[in-house]
């Protein structure tokens, strides 16, 4: 095993190996290497979501230059980062990895995995690496493995904060030292550069911690001289695999063919096709600005993009541009523990109660507070009313429309599991028998789908750090090279 220094310059225009893409054969030399086309196979939206083997085989028959897959996201919330647990199932991840590793090693195709284990912190990275090593032994595979950590030492983040090199994202309060100290995990979102470093060292399989989603798809083609804007836009689409197709699926494969002035998206299942509308719609996915997508080192500018049918369910995309930033910044993500949660789920079908729900819940809250003064300590008590505004809360535009039934989730968060149980239980029993104006029946107000009615939901985490840090592209992401021998 070789441990590399945190800072190591990498010249990506000189590659000490041959490339055989199936479209052209090029031997590395000096200067940028130009290829006629670069083909990327994306097997699934997130490692562990699965994919049909026949779609994957069709992708392999297209002689891909790269197999890349995103393995994580912040979408499931801060719990997984803070707790060090994966939100994907180990058996499912192992199944996907077995197919990917065998195809990559037998076909001499680079395989790049980003945001390993879901949140991409050290426990998630090690969880994924354990599966990779286990499969390498069982399947008798030999390859050079590149490992890229994304954990940020608190001292490094603290130094950046004190030096004025940390800035808040829109809608996020400024970072303070207490939030850093409280964080149980802290990662940075790497760009293409650490992945390129691992690939330039001859790693056939790269497993990276937290990564900018398009980076795992764009790093290698950018090394080959392809346009960064097109490569990153292609990565933006392929990181969700066939979700951008019609009908979309996160559990099916997709192919991207990158050319000098465009890229083409190709479905790998007869059930799906890409359309200009489906690809344009997915380009807007997870974006606050429809024209600009910020990432490590700059913005993806989509103001001049065009989408056109290329026949046979394919779509060609042109005009994507990458605009380098004046300062190279990476996003920091941190999570801290805030307590433990207990919940109770119940249904309501009394139209009188439904019509007075806001008043009833407020009165229940006040009564519980009177009986249990600690009810509002720390996170306290919340109600989620589904069928009215359970998804959007106060932002629901149809909140005043009548419903014939509602689902209520009583959400109790306290410092200890026992305190959360007490708060949840008392709130549930109070609401169950609460006498509101116009109530006729003397039975309970709530219908419970489960017994026991109260459920422990475990520890609760929140994002404590969601900020930008000005940093060198490589300094936070050390690369380790490991030789796995059959």
Q: Report the 3 state secondary structure along the chain.
A: CEECCCCCCCCCCCCCCEEECCCCEEECCCCCCCCCCEEEEECCCCCCCCCCHHHHHHHHCCCCCEEEEECCCCCCCCHHHHHCCCCCCHHHHHHHHHHHHHHHHHHCCCEEEECCCCCCCHHHHHHHHHHHHHHHHHHCCCEEEEEECCECCHHHHHHHHHCCCEEECCCCCCCCHHHHHHCCEEEECECHHHHHHHHHCCCCEEEECCECCCHHHHHHHHHCCCCHHHHHHHHHHHCCCECCCECCECCCCEEEEECCCCEEEEECCCCCECCHHHHHHHHCCCCCCCCEEEECCEEEECCCCEEEEEECCEEEEECCEEEECCCCEEEEEEEEEEEEEEEEEEEECCHHHHHCHHHHHHHHHHHHHHHCHHHHCCCEEEEEEECCCCCCHHHCCCCCCCCCCEEEEEEEEECCHHHHHHHHHHHHHHHHCCCCCCCCCCCCCCECCCCCCEEEEEEEEEEEEEEEEECCCCCCCCEEEEEECC
| Rounded CA separation 34/15 (Å) | 12
Residue 26: which pLDDT band, with cuts at 50, 70 and 90?
very low
Specify the pLDDT at position 32: 47
Task: Report the C-alpha dihedral over residues 97, 102, 104, 105, rounded to 10 degrees.
Answer: 130
| Rounded CA separation 346/342 (Å) | 14
Closest CA relative to residue 139, chosen from 97, 89, 91, 202: 97
Residues 409-441: tens digit of each pLDDT: 999 999 999 999 999 999 999 999 999 999 988
Specify the pLDDT at position 34: 60
Domain 336-462 CATH assignment equals 3.40.50: no
pTM check: above 0.75: yes
Closest CA relative to residue 211, chosen from 128, 144, 291, 295: 295
Residue 162 has pLDDT above 90, yes or no: yes
Which residues of the chain form CATH 3.30.70?
336-462
Mean residue pLDDT across the chain? 91
| Rounded CA separation 128/105 (Å) | 18
Residue 197: which pLDDT band, with cuts at 50, 70 and 90?
very high
Residue 290: CA count within 13 A, CB half-sphere: 5
Check residues 235 and 377 and name the one with the higher pLDDT: 235
Check residues 482 and 26 and name the one with the higher pLDDT: 482
- The answer to whether the beta carbons of residues 100 and 69 sit under 8 Å apart is yes
| Rounded CA separation 187/209 (Å) | 8
Residues 251-298: tens digit of each pLDDT: 999 999 999 999 999 999 999 999 999 999 999 988 889 999 999 999
311-325 CB burial, b ≥16 within 10 A, e <16: eebbbbbebbbbeee
Sequence-ordered list of residues with C-beta below 8 angstroms from that of 60, at least 6 positions apart, any chain: 41, 103, 107
Closest CA relative to residue 357, chosen from 236, 445, 426: 445
Tokens for 436?
């509101």
- The answer to whether the beta carbons of residues 316 and 263 sit under 8 Å apart is yes
Angle between helices 417-432 and 357-371 (to 10 degrees): 130
Sequence-ordered list of residues with C-beta below 8 angstroms from that of 247, at least 6 positions apart, any chain: 271, 272
Residue 22 has pLDDT above 80, yes or no: no
């Amino acid at each position: 095993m070789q441990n590399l220094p945190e800072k190591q310059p990498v010249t990506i225009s000189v590659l000490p190996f041959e490339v055989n893409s199936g479209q052209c054969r090029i031997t590395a030399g000096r200067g940028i290497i130009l290829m006629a086309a670069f083909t990327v196979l994306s097997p699934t939206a997130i490692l562990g979501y699965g994919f049909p083997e026949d779609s994957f085989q069709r992708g392999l028959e297209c002689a891909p230059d790269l197999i890349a897959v995103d393995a994580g996201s912040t979408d499931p919330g801060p719990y997984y980062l803070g707790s060090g647990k994966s939100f994907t199932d180990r058996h499912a991840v192992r199944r996907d990895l077995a197919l990917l590793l065998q195809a990559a090693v037998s076909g001499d195709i680079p395989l790049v995995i980003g945001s390993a284990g879901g949140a991409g912190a050290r426990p998630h990275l090690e969880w994924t690496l354990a599966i990779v090593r286990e499969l390498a032994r069982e399947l008798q595979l030999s390859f050079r493995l590149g490992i890229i950590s994304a954990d940020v030492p608190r001292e490094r983040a603290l130094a950046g904060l004190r030096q004025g090199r940390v800035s808040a994202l829109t809608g996020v309060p400024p970072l303070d030292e207490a939030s850093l100290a409280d964080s149980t995990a802290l990662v940075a979102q790497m760009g293409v550069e650490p992945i390129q470093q691992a690939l330039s060292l001859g790693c056939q399989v790269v497993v990276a911690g937290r990564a900018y989603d398009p980076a795992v798809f764009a790093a290698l083609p950018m090394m080959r001289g392809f346009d960064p804007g097109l490569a990153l836009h292609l990565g933006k689409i392929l990181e969700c695999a066939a979700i951008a197709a019609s009908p979309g699926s996160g559990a099916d494969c997709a192919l991207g063919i990158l050319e000098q002035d465009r890229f083409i998206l190709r479905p790998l299942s007869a059930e799906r096709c890409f359309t200009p509308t489906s690809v344009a719609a997915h380009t807007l996915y997870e974006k606050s600005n429809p024209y600009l997508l910020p990432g490590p080192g700059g913005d993806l500018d989509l103001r001049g993009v065009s989408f056109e049918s290329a026949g046979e369910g394919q779509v060609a995309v042109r005009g994507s541009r990458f605009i380098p930033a004046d300062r190279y910044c990476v996003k920091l993500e941190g999570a801290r523990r805030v307590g433990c949660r207990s919940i109770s789920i119940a249904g309501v079908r009394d139209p009188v109660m439904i019509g007075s729900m806001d008043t009833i819940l407020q009165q229940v809250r006040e009564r519980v507070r009177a009986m249990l003064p600690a009810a509002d300590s720390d996170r306290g008590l919340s109600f989620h009313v589904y069928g009215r505004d359970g998804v959007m809360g106060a932002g629901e535009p149809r909140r005043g429309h009548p419903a014939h039934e509602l689902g209520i989730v009583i959400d109790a968060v306290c410092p200890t599991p026992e305190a959360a149980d007490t708060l949840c239980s008392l709130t549930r029993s109070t609401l169950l028998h609460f006498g509101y104006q116009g109530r006729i029946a003397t039975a309970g107000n709530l219908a419970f789908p489960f017994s026991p009615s109260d459920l422990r939901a475990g520890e609760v985490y929140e994002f404590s750090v969601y900020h930008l840090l000005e940093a060198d592209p490589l300094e936070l992401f050390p690369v380790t090279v490991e030789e796995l021998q059959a």
